[in-house]
C-alpha cells in the first residue's frame, strides 16, 4: 500500500515536466516532420502535401551537401582531439600533484564561457592580418604575429581551401575506374578553415572531458591496478589493459555529449566566421535558420531540421540502448 502511494506521488510530481516535454519537444518534432512534407514556402502556410520533394531539393543543394561534410569533419576532429587531450590532462592531474584543485579549475574554466565569447576571442586570435601583397605590407596580427607566421600561408578562418583527393591524382583515377569517382568531389574533403573552429571548440570542451575522465580514474580501485603490477605489468600496460577498458563508459558518455554539441553547433561558427569562405564553415543549423526564417521556405527548413534530428538520433539512440542494457545488467 505504501509503495503504491509513493509511486502515485512520484508520477504526480513528474507529470508536469513529462507533459511539457511531450508537447514542446515530441509534439513539435512531429509537427516539424509534418511541415517537412508540405509545400509551405512563403509566409502564408500552405499545407498541400508534396511528399519528399523538400528532402530531394535539399539533397540536391550543394550547400547542404557541404554542410553535411562540415558536420562530419567537425565531429570527427572535435571529438577525437577533445578525448585525447582530456584523457592526457586527466592523467597528468591524477599524479597527486600539489594544488591540484587550482590546476583543475584553470583547465575546466573555458567550459564556463559561452560559445559566442569563445568565438569572438578566437576570431581575434586567428585573424591572419593582411597578406604580403607587396614587399612592404606584411602586417600580421594575432597568432601569426606571435609566432612570426606568414599570413599568406596561415590564413586560418579565411582559408577557402578544401583538402581533398584530386580527380586527376593516381588514387583518384583508380577510384574513378572502380566507380567511386564521387569520392573526389569537393563535397568530400577537409575544409581548412573549419579546423580553426575545431581548435576553438576543443579549447573550450577538453577541460570538461578531463573532469569526466578524472572522475573515472578516481573510481578505479587501487587494488586492481596493484594486482596488475604484482603480475609484472608495466605502467603503460596497466593503463592500456586495466585502466583504459574500465574507462569505456566514460569515453562513451563523453563522445555522446561532445557529439550532440558538434552536430548542433551554431553559435561558435556564427561568431567566428559565419558561412565562411565558400561555405567552408557553414553548418546545417545555419542553413536551416536561413532557409526558414530569411528565405521564408518553411517546408525546406523543416526538412533540414528533420535530417539533423535523424543524424543525431543515429548517434544517440544506440548509446541510450546500450546505457539501458548496462542498467538492467547491473
Partner 1 sequence: MKLPSRRILAVISVVALVASACSSSATSAPSTGAASVAPSTAAGVTPIEVVSWWTTGGEASGFNAIIAKFNTDNPTLQVTNSAIAGGAGSNAQAALQNRVLNGNPPDSFQVHMGHELLDTYVTPGYMDNLDDLYAANGWTTQFPQGVLDIVSAKDSSGTVHYYSVPLDIHRANVLWYNKTVFTANSLTPPTTWDQFFTDADALKAKGITPLAVGDNGIWATGMILESILISTLGADGYIGLWNGKTSWTDSKVTDGLNIYKKVLGYVNSDHATLTWDQAADYLIPASAGAQPKAAMTLMGDWAAGEFDNKGFTDYGWMAAPGTDKIYDTLADSFGLPTKAVNKAGVKLFLTLLGSAAGQDIFNPYKGSIPANTTAGNPPASAKQYSTYQKWAMGEWKADAIVPSLEHGAAAAPSWKGAWETAVTSFVANPDVPTLQAALAQACKDASVCK
Q: According to the binding rule CB under 8 A, does residue 295 interact with partner 1? A: yes
How many whole angstroms separate alpha carbon 229 and alpha carbon 235? 8
Give min distance, CB of 59 to partner 1, in A. Answer: 14
Q: According to the binding rule CB under 8 A, does residue 284 interact with partner 1? A: no
Residue 148 or 327: which CB sits closer to partner 1?
A: 327
| Helices 192-219 + 248-263 axis angle, to 10 | 150
How many whole angstroms separate alpha carbon 282 and alpha carbon 67? 6
CB–CB of 276/74 below 8 Å? no
- Within 105-124, the residues that bind partner 1 by CB under 8 A are 123
Give min distance, CB of 236 to partner 1, in A. Answer: 28
Give min distance, CB of 99 to partner 1, in A. Answer: 30
Residue 187 or 233: which CB sits closer to partner 1?
A: 187
Site string for partner 1, 173-192 (x = CB under 8 A): -------------x------
Q: According to the binding rule CB under 8 A, does residue 322 interact with partner 1? A: no
Residue 317 exposed, middle or buried by CB count within 10 Å (0-12, 13-18, 19+): exposed
User: How far from chain centre, in Å, is Cα 171?
Assistant: 30
Q: How far, in Å, are 39, 95, 197, 270 from residue 296 at the CA level?
A: 12, 56, 29, 20
Residue 101 or 136: which CB sits closer to partner 1?
A: 136
- Within 36-95, the residues that bind partner 1 by CB under 8 A are 41-45, 47, 61-63, 66
Handedness of CA 284, 288, 289, 294 (dihedral sign): positive
Give min distance, CB of 320 to partner 1, in A. Answer: 7
Place of cell 591496478: 225
Q: Is 161 helix (H, G, I), strand (E, B) or coil?
A: coil
Give min distance, CB of 119 to partner 1, in A. Answer: 11
The DSSP output letter for 38 is B
The answer for residues whose C-beta is within 8 angstroms of residue 311's C-beta and 6 or more apart is: 71, 263
Give min distance, CB of 106 to partner 1, in A. Answer: 27
Near partner 1 by CB under 8 A: residue from 22, 97, 106, 313:
22
Give the DSSP per-residue string, 3-37. Answer: HHHHHHHHHHHHHHHHHHHIIIIIIHHHHHHHHTT
CB–CB of 263/308 below 8 Å? yes
Q: According to the binding rule CB under 8 A, does residue 273 interact with partner 1? A: yes
Q: According to the binding rule CB under 8 A, does residue 8 interact with partner 1? A: no
- Within 205-264, the residues that bind partner 1 by CB under 8 A are 249, 253
Q: Which residues bind partner 1 (CB under 8 A)?
A: 11, 14, 18-19, 21-23, 26-31, 34, 41-45, 47, 61-63, 66, 123, 127-137, 139, 151-152, 155, 157-158, 160, 162, 186, 193, 249, 253, 272-280, 290-291, 293-297, 320, 323-324, 326-327, 330
Amino acid at each position: 500500500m505504501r509503495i503504491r502511494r509513493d509511486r502515485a506521488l512520484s508520477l504526480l510530481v513528474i507529470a508536469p515536466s513529462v507533459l511539457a516535454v511531450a508537447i514542446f519537444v515530441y509534439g513539435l518534432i512531429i509537427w516539424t516532420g509534418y511541415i517537412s512534407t508540405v509545400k509551405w514556402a512563403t509566409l502564408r502556410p500552405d499545407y498541400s502535401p508534396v511528399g519528399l520533394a523538400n528532402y530531394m531539393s535539399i539533397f540536391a543543394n550543394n550547400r547542404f551537401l557541404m554542410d553535411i561534410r562540415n558536420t562530419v569533419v567537425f565531429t570527427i576532429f572535435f571529438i577525437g582531439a577533445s578525448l585525447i587531450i582530456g584523457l592526457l590532462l586527466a592523467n597528468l592531474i591524477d599524479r597527486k600533484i600539489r594544488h591540484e584543485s587550482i590546476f583543475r579549475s584553470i583547465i575546466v574554466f573555458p567550459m564556463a564561457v559561452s560559445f559566442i565569447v569563445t568565438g569572438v576571442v578566437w576570431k581575434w586570435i586567428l585573424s591572419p592580418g593582411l597578406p604580403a601583397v607587396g614587399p612592404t605590407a606584411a602586417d600580421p596580427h594575432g597568432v601569426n604575429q606571435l609566432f612570426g607566421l606568414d599570413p599568406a600561408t596561415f590564413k586560418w578562418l579565411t582559408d577557402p581551401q578544401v583538402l581533398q583527393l584530386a580527380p586527376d591524382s593516381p588514387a583518384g583515377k583508380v577510384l574513378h575506374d572502380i566507380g567511386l569517382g564521387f569520392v573526389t568531389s569537393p563535397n568530400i574533403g577537409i575544409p581548412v578553415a573549419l579546423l580553426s573552429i575545431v581548435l576553438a571548440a576543443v579549447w573550450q570542451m577538453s577541460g570538461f572531458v578531463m573532469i569526466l575522465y578524472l572522475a573515472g580514474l578516481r573510481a578505479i580501485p587501487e587494488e586492481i591496478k596493484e594486482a596488475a603490477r604484482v603480475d609484472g605489468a608495466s605502467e603503460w600496460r596497466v593503463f592500456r589493459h586495466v585502466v583504459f577498458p574500465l574507462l569505456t563508459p566514460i569515453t562513451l558518455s563523453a563522445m555522446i555529449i561532445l557529439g550532440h554539441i558538434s552536430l548542433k553547433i551554431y553559435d561558435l561558427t556564427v561568431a567566428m566566421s559565419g558561412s565562411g569562405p565558400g561555405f567552408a564553415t557553414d553548418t546545417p543549423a545555419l542553413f536551416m535558420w536561413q532557409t526558414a526564417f530569411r528565405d521564408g521556405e518553411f517546408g525546406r527548413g523543416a526538412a533540414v531540421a528533420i535530417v539533423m534530428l535523424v543524424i543525431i538520433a543515429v548517434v544517440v539512440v544506440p548509446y541510450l540502448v546500450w546505457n539501458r542494457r548496462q542498467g538492467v545488467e547491473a
